[in-house]
């Protein structure tokens, strides 16, 4: 048996040459730290509004090195915080506005990619959450009912029986029906990143790879804000921090988010016979209703790309390349895949992972402080593909300063609401790893007995 490649499937045959590193000082209007979706979309959106703007991106490695080049490719309208939490913060109209904006953003993202001539295999096929235990079925049905009470209809989100799902969208072993949500597309994330990198350059942005920023310094008096690297300093009216799971290295941001690892595997291409049973023919992404999230998509070349949480949180919010792989989690993912797709052929060809950013209150954030010349965006947990696009569009609107656009953007719950700080260690480590352990236990119990764990509701609140 061959060991799987430890690089993302998405990088196969798609790696682009690094851009030259920063060499010397530079003056720009906006300097962006981090070349993932957040940084690249911010640059793209700023330059779309004003092509004369001087925009530079400083990337520690190469664009797409972080979560943006490694993720599951769900371009979904999911929001990391629960609907109840959003309702508490911004009321019914605010929740509806957020939901409608996110749903529209799925299609907008596809249009924006198409506009720049980027073929990232965008397929707007919706998403299925299969119920694979009775407890999951009850929970998922309640989710659909709650969504309908808030005003969604069957065209947005609907419950389908096992037969209906298998006939119309997809099938996994042991499914007892599930949710079909129309607001999701599947993409090849790394093709989106590389296409976007080229588009930013064509629009006049400057990109510097292998240029890690060691410090971000706010504006003070007549001195502009700055991003400092060992090879030079970039001064700007606004320095944007777009470093998501890597953000804890920056003073002042150490407890804004915690890096949590999500890991993935890919299979060999599967046969026509396999797909005639399992469907997913129009780009439907899929998950099931377990607590410890799993997610998958059928790729354009007929593989399964499949991921899940379950890797531990590492003490002190540390981020290290060796955490991108875990033999234990890869084996769990392989087992979960074979349970859902028992006729799966061949070996796992790839296994990889990366850090995403979990904010304390589950709320992503877009902040801009004109006086200090600082901005930041992130905190998307595992829902960052569309959220980073929407966050970047919102930040570009705030920076560009069009009053009408700003008042619309400021209605979004994540705009100008700085993240709540996480607890100090060892509380963080204890809390997060206990939550992950309980989630795994609850899933095992549900699988064995069909009934929910006694701490089910508490877990729902904890995991958001």
Instruction: Give residues in contact with ligand FAD (CB under 6 A).
Output: 33-39, 58-61, 65-68, 70-74, 76, 212-213, 242-246, 249, 262, 264, 295, 307, 353-354, 356, 378, 380, 382-385, 388
Pair type for strands 30-33 and 232-236: unpaired
The C-alpha atoms of residue 305 and residue 280 are separated, in whole angstroms, by 12
Shortest distance (Å) from residue 411 CB to ligand FAD: 22
Shortest distance (Å) from residue 289 CB to ligand FAD: 17
Burial of residue 220, with CB atoms counted within 10 A of its CB: 0-12 exposed, 13-18 middle, 19 or more buried? exposed
Nearer to ligand FAD, 95 or 383 (CB): 383
Burial of residue 2, with CB atoms counted within 10 A of its CB: 0-12 exposed, 13-18 middle, 19 or more buried? exposed
Shortest distance (Å) from residue 211 CB to ligand FAD: 7
Shortest distance (Å) from residue 423 CB to ligand FAD: 22
The C-alpha atoms of residue 226 and residue 28 are separated, in whole angstroms, by 10
Shortest distance (Å) from residue 137 CB to ligand FAD: 24
- The answer to whether 102 and 260 are in contact (CB under 8 A) is no
Residue length, the chain?
464
Nearer to ligand FAD, 283 or 354 (CB): 354
Shortest distance (Å) from residue 362 CB to ligand FAD: 13
Nearer to ligand FAD, 178 or 355 (CB): 355
Nearer to ligand FAD, 364 or 452 (CB): 364
Helix (H, G, I), strand (E, B) or coil at 209: coil
Cβ-closest position to ligand FAD? 384
- The answer to whether 200 and 44 are in contact (CB under 8 A) is yes
- The answer to whether 183 and 156 are in contact (CB under 8 A) is yes
**Which distant-in-sequence residues (6+ apart) come within 8 Å of 324 by Cβ?**
6, 261, 263, 352, 353, 354
Secondary structure letter of residue 92 according to DSSP:
H
Enter the tokens of residue 269: 């291409």
**Which distant-in-sequence residues (6+ apart) come within 8 Å of 241 by Cβ?**
33, 34, 216, 247, 250, 253, 374, 375, 376, 377, 378
Nearer to ligand FAD, 177 or 245 (CB): 245
Nearer to ligand FAD, 133 or 211 (CB): 211
Helix (H, G, I), strand (E, B) or coil at 196: helix
Nearer to ligand FAD, 60 or 120 (CB): 60
- The answer to whether 225 and 236 are in contact (CB under 8 A) is yes
Shortest distance (Å) from residue 263 CB to ligand FAD: 6
- The answer to whether 36 and 378 are in contact (CB under 8 A) is no
Nearer to ligand FAD, 39 or 373 (CB): 39
Shortest distance (Å) from residue 435 CB to ligand FAD: 18
């Amino acid at each position: 048996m061959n060991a799987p490649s430890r690089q993302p499937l998405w990088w196969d045959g798609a790696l682009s040459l690094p851009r030259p590193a920063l060499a010397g000082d530079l003056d720009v209007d906006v300097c962006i730290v981090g070349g993932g979706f957040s940084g690249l979309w911010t640059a793209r959106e700023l330059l779309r509004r004003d092509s004369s703007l001087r925009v530079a991106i400083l990337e520690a490695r190469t664009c797409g090195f972080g979560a943006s080049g490694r993720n599951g490719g769900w371009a979904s309208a999911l929001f990391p915080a629960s609907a109840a939490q959003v309702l508490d913060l911004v009321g019914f109209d605010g929740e509806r506005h957020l939901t409608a904006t996110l749903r529209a953003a799925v299609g907008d993202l596809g249009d924006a990619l198409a506009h720049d001539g980027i073929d990232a295999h965008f397929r707007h096929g919706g998403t299925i959450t299969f119920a694979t235990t009775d407890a999951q079925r009850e929970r998922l049905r309640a989710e659909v009912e709650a969504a309908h009470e808030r005003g969604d209809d069957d065209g947005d989100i609907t419950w389908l029986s096992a037969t209906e799902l298998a006939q119309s969208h997809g099938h996994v072993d042991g499914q007892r029906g599930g949710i079909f949500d129309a607001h999701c597309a599947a993409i090849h994330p790394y093709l989106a990143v590389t296409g976007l990198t080229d588009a930013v350059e064509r629009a006049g942005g400057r990109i510097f790879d292998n240029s890690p920023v060691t410090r971000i310094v706010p504006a003070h008096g007549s001195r502009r804000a700055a991003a400092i690297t060992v090879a030079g300093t970039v001064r700007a009216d606004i320095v944007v921090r777009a470093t998501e799971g890597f953000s804890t290295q920056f003073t002042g941001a150490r407890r804004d988010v915690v890096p949590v690892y999500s890991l993935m595997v890919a299979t060999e291409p599967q046969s026509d016979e396999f797909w005639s049973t399992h469907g997913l023919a129009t780009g439907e992404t899929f998950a099931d209703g377990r607590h410890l999230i799993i997610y998958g998509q059928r790729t354009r070349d007929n593989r399964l790309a499949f991921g899940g949480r379950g890797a531990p949180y590492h003490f002190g919010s540390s981020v290290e390349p060796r955490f991108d792989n875990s033999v234990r989690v890869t084996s769990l993912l392989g087992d979960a895949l074979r349970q859902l797709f028992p006729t799966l052929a061949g070996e796992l060809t790839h296994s990889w992972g990366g850090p995403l950013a979990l904010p304390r209150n589950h709320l992503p954030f877009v902040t801009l402080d004109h006086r200090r010349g600082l901005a930041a965006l992130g905190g998307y947990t595992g829902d960052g593909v569309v959220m980073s696009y929407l966050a970047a569009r919102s930040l570009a609107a705030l920076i560009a300063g069009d009053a009408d656009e700003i008042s619309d953007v400021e209605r979004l719950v994540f705009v100008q609401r700085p993240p709540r700080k996480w607890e100090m260690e060892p509380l963080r480590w204890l809390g997060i790893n206990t939550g992950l352990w309980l989630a795994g236990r609850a899933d095992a119990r549900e699988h064995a007995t069909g009934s929910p764990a006694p701490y089910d509701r508490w877990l729902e609140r904890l995991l958001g």
